Amino acid sequence: MSQSIKVFAPATVANVVCGFDVLGFAVHSPGDEVVLRLSDKPGVNIIKIDGDEGRLPTNPEKNTVGISVIKFLEKIGSTQGIEIELYKKMPLGSGLGSSSASTVAGVFAINELMGGPLSKEELLPFAMEGERLACGSAHADNVAPALFGGFVLVRSYNPLDIIKLPSPKGLYCTLIHPHIEVQTKDARNILPKQIDLQDAVEQWGNVAGLISGLYQSDYSLISRSLKDVIVEPVRSVLIPGFHQVKNAALDVGALGGGISGSGPSIFVLSTNEDIANKAAKAMEKEFLKLGIGNDTYISQINPKGPVVIG
C-alpha cells in the first residue's frame, strides 16, 4: 500500500438547463486537488486547506472531504489514521460544483489509498453525503459526473440509479464565472415546491430531447432542447445580466445554455472550439459592461472524472 496519493477531480455543470437535479456533465478544468496520507496518528485530520481564503471548516466532521473519508473508513471497518490536504482551485458558491470536486477527489483518493475496495458506484453515496453537508441536500447531479466523468443522468434517487450518457465528440463547453456568489442553499430555497402540469410537460419533453440529441449527436435537437421553463425563470434574477450574457453567446453560434448548477456561473455548449472561444469573449464583454469581473473556462466534455496525479 502506498503512503500517500494526490487526486484531481473536475468541475461539473449540474442541471444542464432542463434537467434540474437529474443531469450533469464534467469538464476538464477547473478542478480541485486532494492529498491523502497514511498516518500513525489515529483519526482523520485535515492538516491544510489552500485556496479557500480560510472559509472552509478544518474540523473533519464538518468538512465535505473529511466527513466522506470518515464514513468510507467506517464502511470498510478501518481505523487507519489519515491526513488530508485540500487544494481549492475554484471559487466557492460558483455553480461549478466546487464542493463536489473536493469531495469526489477525497473519496476517490481514500479508495485508491486503501487498495480500491469499493467500486465508483459504491463510492457515490459517500460523495452525496458530502453534498448534503455542503448545502443541506444530497443531490447527485454534480457528484455523479465528477466521479464517473462525461454526461450522467440520475434516473432515480430512491433507489439510486445512475445512467452514463454518451456525448458528441466535438462538443465544447464555455463556462463563465461572474465574480458574485450564490449559495446553493439560497438558490434552492427560492424554488417553487409545486409546478404547473403544462410546464412539467414542456420540461420532460426537453429532457428527453436533450438525451436523444446526445445519443444521436444531433446538435440541432440538443440546441432545441436546452430550455428550462421551471428553474431558470426563478433563479436568473440572482444573476445580473443573465439574459444579455446568454444571448450574446447564442448570437455567435452557441447551441444553447443556461445557469451552471445553482449559479452564478453560466455555461453554453458549442459544436467547435472556435465558437466556444467566441462565446467566451461575447459573454465576458456583457458582464464587463455591467462592471462585473469574471473568469472563463473552455473545455471539452471530460470523460474520465477523477485522476491520480501524484
- Contacting residue, 106, 261, 264, 306, with ligand HSE by CB under 6 A: 261
By CB under 6 A, tell whether 266 contacts ligand HSE.
no
145: Cα within 13 Å, side-chain hemisphere: 33
x-marked contacts with ligand HSE along 143-182 as a string, rule CB under 6 A: ----------------------------------------
Hey, which residues between 17 and 36 contact ligand HSE (CB under 6 A)?
20-21
User: Smallest gap, in angstroms, from Cβ of residue 7 to ligand HSE?
Assistant: 21
The bridge status of strand 4-14 relative to strand 81-87 is: unpaired
Of 64, 103, 174, 184, the catalytic one is 184
Note the helical H segments in 4-97. 64-76
Three cell numbers written together for 103: 469531495
- Residue in 14, 26, 210, 222 binding ligand HSE, rule: CB under 6 A: 14
Residues touching ligand HSE, count (CB under 6 A): 12
- Asked if residues 46 and 86 have their Cβ atoms less than 8 Å apart, the reply is yes
In the residue annotation, 103 being an active-site residue is answered as no
The answer to whether the peptide bond before residue 159 is cis (omega within 30 degrees of 0) is yes
**Please, are residues 88 and 49 in contact by the beta-carbon 8 Å criterion?**
yes
By C-beta, is 86 or 231 nearer to ligand HSE?
A: 231
Asked if 64 is an active-site residue, the reply is no
Q: How far is CA 280 from CA 69, 98, 178, in A?
A: 37, 20, 12
- Residues catalogued as catalytic: 131, 184
Residues of this chain that interact with ligand HSE (CB under 6 A) are: 14-15, 20-21, 139, 141-142, 184, 187-188, 261-262
